[in-house]
Structure 1
Amino acid sequence: MTGNSPLVKRIAIVVGAVVLTAVVSMATTLGVSRSIEGNATAINIAGSLRMGAYELLARSSTRESESAGFIAQLDAYEARMAHPEFTRSIPDTDDHPLSRQYQTMRSLWLESLRPALTAKAGSSNQVAMENLLGLTRQYVAEADQLVSMLEDRTEARIDLLHLIQIVSLVLSIVIISGLFLDLKNRVLRPLRKLVNIADAVRQQDFSRKARFSGSDELSQLGIAFDQMTSELALSYHELKEEARGKTRELERSHAALELLHSASRSLFANHDLCSGAIPMLQDLEQLLGIGPIRLFLHDKHSSEPVEAITTSTKDRPFYCKDHHCNACLVTPEVFDELPSEDNDGRRLLLPIRTPGQLLGTLEVWYPASTGLPETSRRLLETLSDQLATAIFLERQITEEQQLTLAEERAVIARELHDSLAQSLSYLKMQVSRLRRLNIAGEHEEVHHNILEELSNGLNSAYRQLRELLTTFRLKLDTPDLATALAQTAHEFSERLGSEVKLEYRLPPQTLSPNEEIHTLQIVREGLANAVKHSDASEIVVQVLFESPRVQVRILDNGKGLPSSDQPAHHYGLIIMQDRARTLGGKVSVRNRDSGGVEVALSFVPKSRHLITSEPAISQSLQQSVKE
């Protein structure tokens, strides 16, 4: 048996060897047994021939030897010598010792002993009898030799038969022992090892290996088991890692959903994207391993999207209205490690939309090495929907408050026009009537001065009231503040007779609608004062953004202010100061070094895009009218 023979082949060889040994043993046994078949009969016949020779010798000395019966007895003796059972034990070949011995014995009988017995029958000659006895002894000696040879041959065949049986038994034992050893080493032990591997695999232990060598079936099965356990170990490890990843992803998703839930309440409660969205977006970045995130709002009056918030920046953004907040500011080292176009980053753009309206775009950066899982993408899509709802509600609230404010202003304007304006007109008419009266006497000059002062006061109050009515009726129905200021500049250019220059450098959506209205009203008030009182030939309006403040300046080259450098009891200045306080800023009026007056407004835009109340002057006027 070869070590690399297949198992079935080895078993077939062993079985074949056992069968061959059995067949050879049986065949040889059969042959040997057939070769000694009749030897016992032949030995018996040979023995009877010896006894028969002495009987014939004894009868030859009697008178019966001359009878026909003696001849018949000789023939019977000779026939017994030619008996088939006897001759069959004698080999057919002439050179065989047993065949030669038989021929010698037969020749001695035919040529010497029978003729002697026939010739000496009934004779009492002592010499003849001694010769006959000698021949008989010689014949019996040859017969004994033949019997001995037959016995030796039979015993040799029996010994050969024993030897064949022993050899067959030994070979069978050796072959069967070899088979058992081979089965133990190549079948039982490998099977036991494979069973142990299967039990280990059942217990999720993939470290055991068969490490069989060879090409038989069990070796191939062991190799297949090793490959299977290796693949199972790899698959189990991958599945385990995938399950861990899914678990971590689900935990992140759960945390992100909780974060979105709490952030949605903050967004809808504060109505402020910066304070409501940036902390939530930064927490979401840490959970999902993404960032930075930027939000762009789409302005129908701007060709490019306007950046509204960002979660990571080195410099304070231009739109930042609260300079006490550092939520989005990071160190340059942290900023440089974030994914970007120059730093192995991928970008995801998600639309922020409501049905039929695109409000903005959410820009999400994530590392290219890790990618963005599908669950994270769905969470970001949910976030974009929440932001769309928050932005839509914020704009809706702003528009509603604008409408409310416009209606409130219209009511105040109607009440002022119907009450205070008519009362002032009536007083002006009464003063005119008093002037037409001729009051003579020592108090004539005093009366005249009083009427003059009263007339001037009424005219000033009436003019200021008409300006106030114009202010209250003003609506920001132009596309944006820049367009409204351009129209205002054109309007006052016609009043002045020369061009009013406008320098406007504000980023888009820097101001809320409330801040835009108050800024526009302050500019109009400043232009009105410059056109009426400065005698200027050139007026410049500057609206600039000097982070974090908005700077508004109305510059003219007129005669300037009186020596006090501030107009005394100027009602328009009071209104401008009230509006500036509403914006959280201040208004200053001063003479320029190069000549003329500078009206300067400075304020920091508020973080909330909400319409607030009117200046205190409007409330006081409304209350006075109602009283």
Structure 2
Amino acid sequence: MSDHPLHPAKPAVPLPTAPVTLLATPFRYRLSTRIVALSGVALALVLSMIVGTLWLSWQLEGAGAAINDAGSLRMRAGNVAIQLNEARTGRQADVSSQSALLDLTLAHLKSGDPVRPLFLPATAAIHAQLDAVSQAWHDSLKQAITHDLSSSIDTPSLYLARLPAFVVEADALVRMIERENARKTAWLRRWQIALAAFACVGTIAIVYLLYAWFVTPVRRLERGLSRIEQREFSARLPVESRDEFGHLAHGFNRMASELQSLYRDLARRVTNKTAQLATRNGELVALYEMTSFLHGAHDVEVLCRGFLERVMRQFNAEAGTVRVLAQEGDNLHVVVFEGLPGRLLSAERCMPASTCVCGAAAVGGVAVVRDLRMQQVVESGPATQCGKAGFDAVAAFGIVSNDLALGSFSLHFRGDRPVLPSQTRLLETLGKHLGTALQNHRLATAARQLAVAQERHLVAQGLHDSIAQSLNFLKLQLHLLDDAASRDDMNEVREIAPLLRGGLEESYEDVRELLVNFRTKFATGNLRDAVDETVTRFERQTDTLVRLDYDEASGLPLPPDQQLQVLFILQEALSNIRKHALATQVHIALKNTRDFELTIQDNGDGYDPANIGSHGEAHVGFHIMRERAARLGAQLELDSEPGKGARVHLLLPASERQAA
């Protein structure tokens, strides 16, 4: 297997239709089979060579022992000669033991001794020479030891005469064993050299095979992964084997193909999502700008015109209108328009709500998009007013607020200008925002009208409680004065004149007090100054001693609207004291903690609550104070007894307080 570099232009390997697993690899192609086979062959060769060297070493060791024993034959034969010579001189000798040792050595050489080890090389010539040495010992030397002693030749002489021939045969045996041993030693060296060469060649072969089987596929796979990391999903691996790495290459190619497909699909999706997000972002920007504009303080015409201009600019419309339903809901009136020709505007400035596209959108509160060209072709009738004006399509959307249809707005297009579903949803949302703004404008107008009506009601009550009663008193005194003048009763005239003067002064003071009350305005946090000014004015108008306890404590300041109502209640209470109580002392306590409390107590004549209730309270201003307390969401308590003064207590709980 050779290392082929990856190349983008290389054709992709056909991918299997089913997932490839290692279990599908045939047994003979598995890497594990190759590794086991390679290891088995290498082990067999190495073991055979080791066994051969061990056998040669064992043979050399046995031959070496045989050389020693064969060489010892000469020594033992000489020892026998020495013992024979000792015996001839009459000394003690042991010829038989030396002879037995020589027999034993020959027997070992012949049969071998595996314990030592000792054995002759398995050569016929060596064994024949051993037979010759044994025959020379038994037939010649040993016979000389056991010959007839009565002969004239003595034993030592005969033994020594035959000994050289035995030594020659023994030397020949030793030389033959040495030659065989030298030959085996040479073979041992050859085996060792061959084993070393096999080790080198085997190592190189194993390294090459491992590199071809493992390193090359892994490096190829690594390069493929590196290219995949660089988003080169066209990278493919060559499949050059049927082993596990071949299946890995198949899997890699399959993965790369799927990644390439997924990446193309993902890129397409990202492009689509980016376009959608850009569209949504534009819609959100338009919606935000429109919402910011609609929440501004504008009148209806400015509000509708700004809305129409922005919508036409956003959707590239050539013309547009904003129409509102009449209060009775029968007619649809144009509030603002852009780009409409005069003839079309004259025809549709006020039209029944049941006609045309704009009327359908206004009454139903839904979007109506109509292609005027297709409508004319299908219906084969006369062109609509918009079609006559040169418009090819019109889209109308309802102006709705909480399911209440308020009108519609329309966009007129020339040419092919489809309105997408997302744009339809945005325009419907914008119509709801415009409806909410118009409804808020109507509610704000109604609230202002209601506030004016309520304030006028309180003004009327104040005028009735003060100036109306004073004028009624003056009118009565004028009748009396007229009667007295007609009778020339100067005494009665003199009595009536001071009463008229006092009534006029009291009316004047009431007018000034009402003017001050009506002109009172607040900025946040200046309630204390207004209270001090009111108390000072009360002291200037009367001779009553006033004690003011003003405790800000830890409470936050009231907003201007609530401060104004509190001050009106205080002014009304002091006005009642000035007009009716004849008090000499007044205690005002104002405490601003978690709750807000105002207490006004005097030591005047007081009143009977039952009698006041039967007279409707109007002549003392209690009804005005109760209405102002109701506006605050506060609790008002009025306590009094005849001759024991009166007490007014206002409690504004924390739940009803507004943020300043």
Superposition TM-score tier, normalisation by shorter sequence:
0.3 to 0.5
